[in-house]
A and B are shown apart, each in its own frame.
Chain A
Amino acid sequence: MKTAEYAKTLRRMLSYIRPYRFSLILSILTALASVLAMLIFPLLTGRAVDAIGSGDLSEFLRYVALMAISASLTAIFQFVQGLFNNRMAFSISRDMRKDLFHKINRIPLSYIDSHPHGDIISRMVNDVDQVSDGLLMGFTQLFTGVITILGTLVCMLSVSWIVTLVVVLVTPVSLFTASFIAKRTYNLFYRQSEVKGEQTSLIDEMVSGASVVSAYSMEEENQKRFDKINHSFAKVSLSAVFYSSLTNPVTRFVNSLVYMGVALSGGLSAVYGLMSIGGLSSILTYASQYTKPFNEISGVVTELQNAIASASRIFALLDETEEKDESALPVLSSADGNVGFHSVSFSYRKDRPLIEDLSLETRKGMRIAIVGPTGCGKTTLINLLMRFYEPDSGYISIDGKDIASFKRTSVRKRYGMVLQDTWIKKGTVRENISLSKPDATLSEVKRAAELCHIDNFIASLPLGYDEMISDEGDGISEGQRQLISIARIMLSDPDILILDEATSSIDTRTELLIQDAFARLMEGRTSFIVAHRLSTIKNADLILVMKDGSVIESGNHGSLIEKHGFYYELYNSQFA
């Protein structure tokens, strides 16, 4: 752990506390009040006991009443302080989650595509919880502890300032040992949190892929993999828990040495007549009372390490580069659909060029089919059109204007996109179809479903349009998912269509049935179509034949066949 980095993490945690500074101040004030009332209680007890001895009944009753008041006040202040602390800790964890979620929405897709989702999830769930727990404990015990120490110091000063000085000078030793241990546990906590992220990733992957796991009877192999990570988690967790739990016994030991020192020196002073026995006994009482909160605080210090370690993982994600800020950019509110590529180059990895210097112009209403062998860059083209990824050089334009000069969301809203990898949001059928148009009426949704010939299936569900569906297996076929995805864009009114193998899992009869609807949808709209079915391709105005990231041929079906090139080969191979 680098000290500067550590300090930065700590400062950043404080910045999360700042919005709640009034709660913080109130928490400290209530802590102060409850500790004061608590410190007074023994004094009152002493007076009451004295009053028993002196037999003064009214005085006795007065003190007893004051005791009751003091106890109640302490309890009330304690409770109120607890509420403030809860509110702060829970609000801060809420704010962190809000920021993390906001981040996930602004982070480039390349990050989401290349990082295990389980690890991101673990930061959102486990690490934030850890921070919240640490802070709650910190707020609760740190303030009370510090105030108790200060209060006791005042009491001690009233007895003997010399001994007070000695105690004050010596006790920080326990804090040093605590911070010595704390520093070493930080790394362990960080590692623990990392392994938890790895474990979450494995669980995420295997539980959601459980059907394949059982198809290949990989349960045992997977169990081994899980157990391996599980074991390394247990190991690092054991170290972290054990080393951090050393703080309390060690500081207690240091404090008992201090106590012994006071007892020895005090005892010797008493023997030599430098101090009375009564004085010694009260100083010993205070010394032990004074060191106790130190034990408590030292425990908090290590628990905070855990929180800081988790916080640094949260901040690391929050620090990832975001998609370029575009708040100042104008909105692209409508488009004719003249899409152009201008010397566009792009690669996922710098050492593997993919799309190089691609230029093409399409006009409004054109149907552009993209064909080519797998991995040739068809989907990449779509990633660039949708601004899921940004070109390394060159630019893409809509109606002659660079799409990077508009708000990303507004550019995406110009498109209606159906991908081969369908995705169903957890929610009702209706919510899923109206994803593109949340204010759609039920009859509009039904109309879209009818156009896609999925209405009969929906009607067969127990709750119809209100049936809950999700992305995880529930008896909805891949083809039906594709139809739902198509219904989404039927409902919206996009300017440009992107269909990436949009009908690959739909049977040809259904496809014929929805063809009319599709034709109407495409009418006057520029559409980019990735497909294998030649009927779709043949009717395209422009066919882009891609290979290894570049467009090697383009033209319409007739001209490409005449050319006897790669497309000709591809076309003929289907009859082979």
Chain B
Amino acid sequence: MRILSFIKGYRRDAFLAPLFKLSEAVLELFVPIAVASLIDTGIAGNNLGYIVRMALLLVLLGVVGLAVSVTAQFFAARAATGFAEKMKSALYAHISSLSELDRDKIGTNTLITRLTSDSTLVQNGINMFLRLFLRSPFVVVGAAIAAFTVDAHLSIIFVIVIPLLSVIVALIMSFTIPMYRKVQNSLDNILSRTRENLSGVRVLRAFGKEEDEKNAFEGDLASLNDLQNSSGRISALLNPLTYVVINLAVIAIIYGGRARYEASLIEIGAIVALVNYMNQILVELVKFANLIVTMTRAIASGRRIEAVFAIKPSMTDKENAAEEGIDGSDAISFSSVSLTYREGGEPSLSDISFTIRKGEKIGIIGGTGSGKTSLINLIPRFYDATDGSVSVFGIDVRDWKRSALRSRIAVVPQKTRLFSGTVRSNMQWGDQRAGDDEIRKALEDADALSFVMDKDGAFDSTVSAGGKNLSGGQRQRLAIARALVKDAPILILDDSFSALDFKTESKVRHAVLSTDKTVLLVSQRTGAMMSMDRVIVMDKGRVVGIGRHEELLSSCPIYREIYTSQYGGDNENS
């Protein structure tokens, strides 16, 4: 497995843990020897001093065993948790490096399960593996070798039994790994529905869907339960099968032993010794069986994690990607751009070409689903065009270093999203170094200053996840302010005034337009288009008109329709 490389940095721990575990097993071998000599030499020889010495030796073995085993547990725990920490960190980084499209494909829910539940299972697996993987084979093979020294002939049974047990373990693992993977997939559904019932609580309760959701969830639970039971059923075979195989081996030893005893080739004592060695294997394998289940689940989960690592980001920075634009070039230019989201679906954008000069204030207008958001999503390279090319400051967005490109573009998305923290921490998304003055200015321009100052703690007042403790209008203002804090040369507002009243909207719009930034303003309202340098009119994924408001009124029927829909009849702005 490739993820095993995360053990790097914990190699020493991962090496020492099993080694100490092994020493513990070796020490355990001395206990019966010490006791035997206590009986043979001490008692038989009536040697009181020897008995006490041997007893002290037993204590010493116990103390050393304790120290060795505690050390082993520590190294195992440190290697396992350290491994998991590194793996999760890398997984998170990998997820961050994926493009919007990649993430849409895999889905947020399963990413959460893989970063939590699956990662924990892998951590447990590594921990158990380090504790037992050297120890158990050592005891098993050691017992077999010891058996050979007693009677090579009968020890053939050991040679048959050990591979047989390995085959059983391998078979059960190969059956259950895919099953445990299905269990985890099913857990994704549990998580998904829980998450959905939290995020959609208002709509679901408004429609009284509680009962339906409960039934659907119970369906999810039932199928999880089925999968757990069927994988558990096979895993539950492991211990009994091991037990039967080993005890049949014991019977074989006795049976074969009897024949050899009759032929005077072996002593009774030797038969007993062989049986004891077989029992040692049994005791060890019972422990090992628990490890196997943990390991199987860890492998299944590890594969799920690897599947995420295996997704190559569909968008990467080229080598020597540009970090600066070309002086004197246009701000944005589209050349025959098309975009299709869904395979087999109709294109969301087709054959779009236009150029925006630096400092221009551009309005974008068009019907619902006409491709406005799709168009602006291409500029910071959230998505790549299916055909054609998009350039920013004279350089194709695919040749830009994405972080450099995005540092030049501030976007206020249509769907506002704030993050848990404070007003300040949210503002500093725009600029980590932004101080009170910058934040104050941005909040003021976004008409958010007064309500922020009204809150306990003002800039340091709490914002809960998604900004749920704020009203829709307040969230939108903060999102605008966040973009203003960023102070990028290109500002994109994607229908960002929808939750603002007119008064606020015109105020904010004026503040935004009175800079030398290149501004793209998506809006439904022709009123907002009047003050723009040029307006791009979109319809069904195509640009159907570009020009000033007055020009478009005469040249672009769609624009005129939109205008009439707002300024028709009673000549009312709405």
Interface string of B77-95 (1 = CB under 8 A from A): 1101110110011001101
Question: Are A116 and B96 interface neighbours, CB within 8 A?
Answer: no
Q: Closest CB-CB distance, B207 to chain A, in whole Å? A: 5
Q: With an 8 A cutoff between CB atoms, is A260 at the interface?
A: yes
Q: With an 8 A cutoff between CB atoms, is B63 at the interface?
A: yes
**CB neighbours of B181 from chain A (8 A):** none
Cα of A488 to Cα of B572 in the assembled complex, Å: 30
**CB neighbours of B254 from chain A (8 A):** 45, 48-49, 52, 64, 67
Q: Closest CB-CB distance, A146 to chain B, in whole Å? A: 16
**CB neighbours of B55 from chain A (8 A):** 260, 263-264, 267
Chain A residues 256 to 272 lying within 8 A of chain B, measured CB to CB, are 256-257, 259-260, 263-264, 267-268, 270-271
Q: With an 8 A cutoff between CB atoms, is B457 at the interface?
A: no
Question: Are A113 and B240 interface neighbours, CB within 8 A?
Answer: no
Q: With an 8 A cutoff between CB atoms, is B327 at the interface?
A: no
Chain A residues 472 to 525 lying within 8 A of chain B, measured CB to CB, are 472-475, 477-480, 482-483, 485, 488, 492, 501, 504-512
Cα of A227 to Cα of B330 in the assembled complex, Å: 40
Given contacts A49-B272, A238-B78, A478-B373, contact A270 B43 (CB under 8 A): yes
Cα of A461 to Cα of B107 in the assembled complex, Å: 20
Interface string of B322-352 (1 = CB under 8 A from A): 0000000000000000000111111010000
Residue of A nearest to B58 (CB): A260
Cα of A30 to Cα of B213 in the assembled complex, Å: 39
Cα of A189 to Cα of B484 in the assembled complex, Å: 44
Contact of A257 among B59, B131, B224 (CB under 8 A): B59
**CB neighbours of A375 from chain B (8 A):** 451, 470-471, 473-474
Question: Are A246 and B73 interface neighbours, CB within 8 A?
Answer: yes
Q: With an 8 A cutoff between CB atoms, is B247 at the interface?
A: yes
Q: Closest CB-CB distance, B519 to chain A, in whole Å? A: 16
Q: With an 8 A cutoff between CB atoms, is B122 at the interface?
A: no
Q: With an 8 A cutoff between CB atoms, is B296 at the interface?
A: no
Cα of A31 to Cα of B11 in the assembled complex, Å: 41
Question: Are B243 and A75 interface neighbours, CB within 8 A?
Answer: yes
Cα of A102 to Cα of B95 in the assembled complex, Å: 32
Interface-located stretch among B134-142, B151-159, B169-177, B363-371: B363-371
**CB neighbours of B403 from chain A (8 A):** 217, 219
**CB neighbours of B218 from chain A (8 A):** 98
Cα of A71 to Cα of B244 in the assembled complex, Å: 6
Interface size on B, residues (CB 8 A): 178
Question: Are A215 and B413 interface neighbours, CB within 8 A?
Answer: yes
Interface-located stretch among A119-127, A155-163, A397-405, A442-450: A119-127
Chain A residues 39 to 59 lying within 8 A of chain B, measured CB to CB, are 41-42, 45, 48-49, 52-53, 55
Q: Closest CB-CB distance, A67 to chain B, in whole Å? A: 5
Residue among B222, B235, B370, B524 having the largest count of chain A Cβ atoms under 10 Å:
B524
Cα of A125 to Cα of B430 in the assembled complex, Å: 34
**CB neighbours of A55 from chain B (8 A):** 262
Chain B residues 468 to 499 lying within 8 A of chain A, measured CB to CB, are 468-474, 477, 482, 486, 495, 498-499
Question: Are A534 and B572 interface neighbours, CB within 8 A?
Answer: yes
Cα of A230 to Cα of B190 in the assembled complex, Å: 24
Q: With an 8 A cutoff between CB atoms, is A250 at the interface?
A: yes
Q: With an 8 A cutoff between CB atoms, is B150 at the interface?
A: no
Q: With an 8 A cutoff between CB atoms, is B433 at the interface?
A: no
Question: Are A504 and B499 interface neighbours, CB within 8 A?
Answer: yes
Contact of A86 among B116, B229, B239 (CB under 8 A): B229
Q: With an 8 A cutoff between CB atoms, is A242 at the interface?
A: yes
Q: With an 8 A cutoff between CB atoms, is B104 at the interface?
A: yes
**CB neighbours of A104 from chain B (8 A):** 194, 197-198
Question: Are B240 and A121 interface neighbours, CB within 8 A?
Answer: no
Question: Are B43 and A271 interface neighbours, CB within 8 A?
Answer: yes
Contact of A113 among B194, B206, B469, B495 (CB under 8 A): B469
Q: Closest CB-CB distance, B248 to chain A, in whole Å? A: 7
Question: Are A576 and B503 interface neighbours, CB within 8 A?
Answer: yes
**CB neighbours of A222 from chain B (8 A):** 96
Chain B residues 152 to 199 lying within 8 A of chain A, measured CB to CB, are 187, 190-199
Question: Are A509 and B244 interface neighbours, CB within 8 A?
Answer: no
Question: Are B247 and A41 interface neighbours, CB within 8 A?
Answer: yes
Cα of A485 to Cα of B524 in the assembled complex, Å: 19
**CB neighbours of A471 from chain B (8 A):** 196, 199-200
Q: With an 8 A cutoff between CB atoms, is B562 at the interface?
A: yes
Q: Closest CB-CB distance, B57 to chain A, in whole Å? A: 9
Cα of A102 to Cα of B221 in the assembled complex, Å: 13
**CB neighbours of B200 from chain A (8 A):** 423, 425, 471
Q: With an 8 A cutoff between CB atoms, is B217 at the interface?
A: yes
Q: Closest CB-CB distance, B561 to chain A, in whole Å? A: 6
12 more A-B contacts (CB under 8 A) besides A222-B96, A512-B565? A38-B243, A68-B251, A74-B240, A217-B406, A242-B78, A249-B65, A260-B59, A374-B471, A374-B472, A375-B473, A423-B200, A508-B565
17 contacts between A and B (CB under 8 A): A79-B236, A90-B225, A101-B197, A105-B197, A113-B468, A114-B468, A116-B464, A204-B195, A214-B406, A221-B432, A235-B81, A259-B31, A267-B51, A378-B471, A412-B206, A506-B524, A575-B573
8 closest cross-chain pairs (CB), A and B = A374-B473, A82-B236, A475-B341, A479-B368, A574-B502, A75-B240, A71-B247, A573-B503
